[in-house]
């Protein structure tokens, strides 16, 4: 990335959006959750064009949710909790098979939520990695342990190829634009627990309402 692009990007700010997404009573504020995701997409795009198919899917899902947030019933989408309540009470979710609501907020957020688990596992591996650690292996291991189970063979194959193109550990750290490797590791140590908490709150909410398998 050029110097001017670097001025606009810092991976810490992107992860901090997830901290902002936690309300005092531990609900997840959708606007900040989506801001966190937009930052992750920005970062993916910095890593190169091979991640285009990944970032495009995430971007389109962010956009679907932003449209709800800015739409007629926007106030119902203030938090993930209020979104779930509103969409369920008004029968706006296809729970068992795709029907008249193929792009509900609940369904769309579930895809991002599953991907967040992958991100968490990957960044945790990165944080604890040695200097000779391979980002492609860390990323693939994290993926196979989480998101892969929800993807058909052809996506798993494409994702595997994309991971091979990830920059090495040091270049990856540099792309984050946070500082020295030590500073990156410290930043991840502080930011990841928040991502984990946001993930867990969403997971518990979805489990409680039996929403973890929305098609």
* Binding residue (CB under 6 A) for ligand 1PW from 69, 115, 138, 184: 115
Closest CA to 65 of 104, 39, 91: 104
What lies within 8 Å, CB to CB, of 185 at 6+ separation is 127
Which of the ranges 16-24, 84-92, 110-118, 199-207 carries the binding residues for ligand 1PW, by CB under 6 A? 110-118
- Phi, psi values for residue 209, rounded to 5°: -100, 10
C-beta atoms surrounding 163 within 10 Å: 22
Number of alpha helices (DSSP H) and beta strands (DSSP E) in the chain: 10, 0
| 58 touches ligand 1PW by CB under 6 A | yes
C-beta atoms surrounding 133 within 10 Å: 14
What lies within 8 Å, CB to CB, of 91 at 6+ separation is none
Which of the ranges 52-60, 68-76, 77-85, 201-209 carries the binding residues for ligand 1PW, by CB under 6 A? 52-60
Binding-residue pattern over the window 19 to 48 for ligand 1PW, x denoting contact by CB under 6 A:
---------------------x--xx----
| 155 touches ligand 1PW by CB under 6 A | yes
CB of 25 to ligand 1PW, least distance (A): 28
Q: What angle do CA 129, 192, 82 make, to 5 degrees?
A: 150
Residue 47 or 69 having the CB closest to ligand 1PW: 47
- Phi, psi values for residue 167, rounded to 5°: -65, 160
| 184 touches ligand 1PW by CB under 6 A | no
CB of 126 to ligand 1PW, least distance (A): 9
Residue 23 or 98 having the CB closest to ligand 1PW: 98
Which of the ranges 54-62, 65-73, 82-90, 186-194 carries the binding residues for ligand 1PW, by CB under 6 A? 54-62
DSSP state for residue 22 in the 8-state scheme: B
Q: Which positions touch ligand 1PW (CB under 6 A)?
A: 40, 43-44, 53-54, 57-58, 111, 114-115, 119, 147, 155, 159
């Amino acid at each position: 990335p050029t110097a001017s692009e670097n001025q606009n990007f810092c991976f810490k700010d992107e992860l901090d959006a997830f901290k902002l997404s936690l309300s005092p009573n531990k609900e997840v504020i959708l606007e900040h959750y989506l801001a966190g995701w937009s930052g992750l997409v920005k970062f993916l795009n910095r890593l190169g064009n091979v991640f285009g198919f990944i970032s495009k899917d995430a971007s389109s899902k962010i956009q679907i949710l932003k449209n709800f947030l800015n739409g007629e019933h926007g106030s119902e989408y203030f938090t993930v909790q209020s979104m779930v309540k509103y969409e369920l009470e008004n029968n706006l979710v296809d729970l068992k098979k795709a029907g008249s609501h193929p792009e509900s907020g609940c369904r769309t957020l579930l895809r991002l939520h599953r991907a967040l688990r992958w991100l968490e596992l990957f960044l945790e591996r990165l944080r604890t990695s040695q200097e000779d650690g391979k980002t492609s292996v860390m990323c693939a291991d994290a993926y196979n342990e989480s998101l892969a189970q929800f993807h058909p063979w052809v996506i798993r194959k494409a994702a595997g190829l994309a991971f091979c193109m990830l920059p090495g550990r040091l270049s990856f750290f540099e792309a984050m634009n946070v500082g020295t490797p030590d500073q990156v590791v410290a930043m991840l140590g502080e930011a990841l627990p928040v991502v984990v908490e946001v993930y867990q709150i969403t997971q518990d909410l979805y489990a409680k309402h039996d929403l973890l398998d929305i098609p």
